Amino acid sequence: MNTGFSQADLIAIWLTLRIATVTTLVLLIIGSPIALWLARTGSRWKGPVSAVVALPLVLPPTVLGFYLLIIMGPNGPVGELTRALGLGTLPFTFWGLVVASTIYSLPFVVQPIQNAIEALGPRPLEVAATLRAGPWDRFFTIILPLARPGFVTAAILGFAHTVGEFGVILMVGGNIPGVTQVISVQIYDHVEAMEYTAAHWLSGGMVVFSFIILTLVYSFNRRRKSSGGTYGV
């Protein structure tokens, strides 16, 4: 009976952390402008765009994974583009998983940021604009510091959700050790292969990890509320 983590488990853990870190960064870079636009716009496209962002919340991961496999495959539009750029196709690669996880975790990042910016209201940005700050300047000196709790929550949730991601990765990953074999897939394999002890170690680790992350998010948000941080008058 083996205890602790096998070499393959450790590789999976390290890979998962790398994917989640890169995905979180990509999510913040892509999610922030989307959140900013959604928080500010009065456009009639707001509804449809919000819906698209929220789709991964309601769609089964297998649906997403299936379409990603087709779209990013050699005959899909994204696959043709990546091949034309000399990048090959994305499924079964590290970056393929980053793309899949980014799409899958997008609502978890966009919504906290959007809520934080909406709570801020337009006034601080208008004030900054009259003080000679351009759009980028305003983002970094006003939105980022004032909506920081939203960004922190978004980053934590995005990271945790990517770590916990399974269905989509199973569909587009191809289970390659060190490349696409992440913790959740490794757990699945352990269960399938009847290696229940190994599965317990990884699964237990995930439960503890998720608990810690969520505790952090909730205590962070509560501390913020009690400290008041209202803006304006």
Partner 1 sequence: MSRYFSWGNIPVLLVAVGLANTAQAANITIAVASNFTGPIKQIITDFEQQTGNHVRLTLGSSGKIFAQISHGAPFDIFLSADSVKPAALEKRGLTVPGSRFTYAIGTLALWSPRPGVAVKQGAILKSGKFDKLALANPRLAPYGVAAKQVLQSLKLYRALAPKLVMGENIAQTYQFVATGNADIGFVALSQLHHAKGSRWIVPHQLYQPIDQDAVILKAAKNNQAVFAFSRFLRAADARKIILAFGYKIPQ
Partner 2 sequence: MAFKVTVRVRYPDFLLDVDLAIAERGVTVIFGPSGSGKTSLLRTIAGLNDTAQGQITFQDQVWQSERIFLPPHRRPIGYIFQESSLFDHMNVRQNLAYGRKRTRDPMTLSEQQHIIDLLGISHLLDRHCGQLSGGERQRVAIGRALFLKPEILLMDEPMAALDFARKREILTLLEQLKADLKIPLLYVSHNIDDVTRLADHMVILAAGKVTRHGPVEQILSSHKMLNSLCDEPFSLLFGQVITPETRHHLTEVSIGDAIIRMPRQKVKKHQEIRLHIHARDVSLTLIRPTQTSVLNILDCHILSIKDPTPDGQCLIELGLHNISIQARISAYSCVQLNLAPGQRVFAQIKAVSLVQ
- Which stretch, 12-20, 99-107, 139-147, 216-224, contacts partner 2 (CB under 8 A)? 139-147
> Shortest distance, CB of residue 33 to partner 1, whole angstroms?
30
> Does residue 119 bind partner 2 (CB under 8 A)?
no
User: How close are the terminal C-alpha atoms of the chain, in Å?
Assistant: 65
List residues binding partner 1 (CB under 8 A): 69-70, 72-75, 79, 88-89, 91-92, 170-172, 174-176, 188-189, 191-194
- Based on its alpha-carbon atoms, the radius of gyration of the chain, rounded to whole angstroms, reads 20
Instruction: Count the alpha carbons within 13 Å of 23 in the hemisphere toward its beta carbon.
Output: 33
* CB-nearer residue toward partner 2: 44 or 132: 132
* Residue 131 burial (10 A CB sphere; 0-12, 13-18, 19+): exposed
> Shortest distance, CB of residue 20 to partner 1, whole angstroms?
21
> Does residue 52 bind partner 2 (CB under 8 A)?
no
* CB-nearer residue toward partner 2: 3 or 130: 130
Within 10 angstroms of residue 212's Cβ, the number of other Cβ atoms is 11
Distance CA 143, CA 51 (A): 24
**Interface residues toward partner 2, by CB under 8 A:** 123-124, 126-134, 137, 141-142, 145-146, 229-233
